[in-house]
Amino acid sequence: MHKRARSWGNWLAPAIILLILGAGVASFAGPGQSQGDKHSLKNDVSELKSRAGTGRLVAEQALAGNLTRNFVEAQAEQMRKGVAQTRDKLTPEQFGPELSAQVLQAADLARRLEGALNSLRGAGADRQAAESARKNLAGLFEELSRLEEDLKE
């Protein structure tokens, strides 16, 4: 019997083009332009919370002497960048007016988190800095957790 696997050629080409075009368009246009709602604010807050939690973990590990100075500095910087990106999204215009209080609170926490991560950078060499960053980040983690709970439906 003859194999005619070629025959799927004319069907496959448009299928892949459609799939990829659709995928590309949807993934770039879809999430980017939608106005933020309560749910996405919660996501942003829990992202901030994760960074605060990791920051605390880094500070603890630094205190335990398990990390190198460069590692602490770079890791804090990488996380700070992520926080800055999230903070840029946290403006009342991006969300509905009914959320503005929570948005402002989240933005404020994000700013403080950035500051805390900034001071974490030096924690690799300085025990005192590490200790205060740990406390600071643990506090922010708690505050962000509470805000996250508030935002859960």
Partner 1 sequence: MKNIVELFLGILTAMGGFVEVGELVFSVDAGAKFGFRLLWVVALGTLGITVFCEMAGRVAAVKGQPVFNLIRERAGLNAGLVTLVAANLVNLLTCTAEIGGIALVWQLLSGWPYRWLALGALGFLLLVVWVLSFQWIERVFGLLGLLMCTYLAAAYYLRPNWGEVAAGFVPGVPHLESSSEYLLFAYFAVAILSSVMLPYETYFYASGAMEDGWNPGDVNLNRVIAIVGSVLGSVLAVALVVCGAQVFRPHQIEPQLPGEAALAASLTLGRWGLLAAVGGMFFAFAGAAIETSLSGAYNLAQFLGWPWGKYRPARTAARFSLTWIITFVLAALIIMTGVDPVSVVEYSIVFSVVILPFTYFPVLVIAGDRRVMGEEHANGWFANAVGWFYLGIVTLAALLAVPLLIVTRGGKG
Partner 2 sequence: MRAHEFQYMEVLTESGRFLGHVFDLRSRGEPEYGEPHDARTVHEIVYGRLGLFERLGITQAEPQTIPWKAVKAIRDGKLIVDDSVGERNRG
Partner 3 sequence: MKDEFLDLVRQVLDHEVVDSNNLPCGMVDDLEVSGGPGGELRVTALLVGAGAWTRRLPSGFEGLAAFIFGRQQTRVPWSEVETVTERVKLRSRAEELGLGGADRKAAKILEKVPGSG
Closer CB to partner 1, 65 or 97, in the complex: 65
Inter-residue contact 49 to 145 (CB < 8 Å): yes
State yes or no: residue 4 binds partner 2 (CB under 8 A).
yes
Give the interface segment with partner 1, choosing from 11-19, 98-106, 110-118, 127-135 (CB under 8 A). Answer: 11-19
- Total residues at interface with partner 2 (CB under 8 A): 10
Q: Tokens 């500051």 label which residue?
A: 115
Site for partner 1 in 73-92 (CB under 8 A): 73-75, 77-79, 82, 85
State yes or no: residue 152 binds partner 3 (CB under 8 A).
no
Residue from 2, 11, 34, 35 in contact with partner 3 (CB under 8 A): 2
Q: How near is the Cβ of 12 to partner 2 at its closest, in Å?
A: 8
- C-alpha count within 13 angstroms, C-beta hemisphere, residue 29: 6
State yes or no: residue 146 binds partner 1 (CB under 8 A).
no
Instruction: Name the token pair of 73.
Output: 């500095």
Site residues (vs partner 2, CB under 8 A): 1-8, 10-11
The residues that touch partner 1, with contacts defined as CB under 8 A, are 3, 5-6, 8-13, 16-17, 19-20, 22-23, 26-27, 30-31, 39-40, 43, 46-47, 49-50, 53-54, 57-58, 61, 65-71, 73-75, 77-79, 82, 85, 145
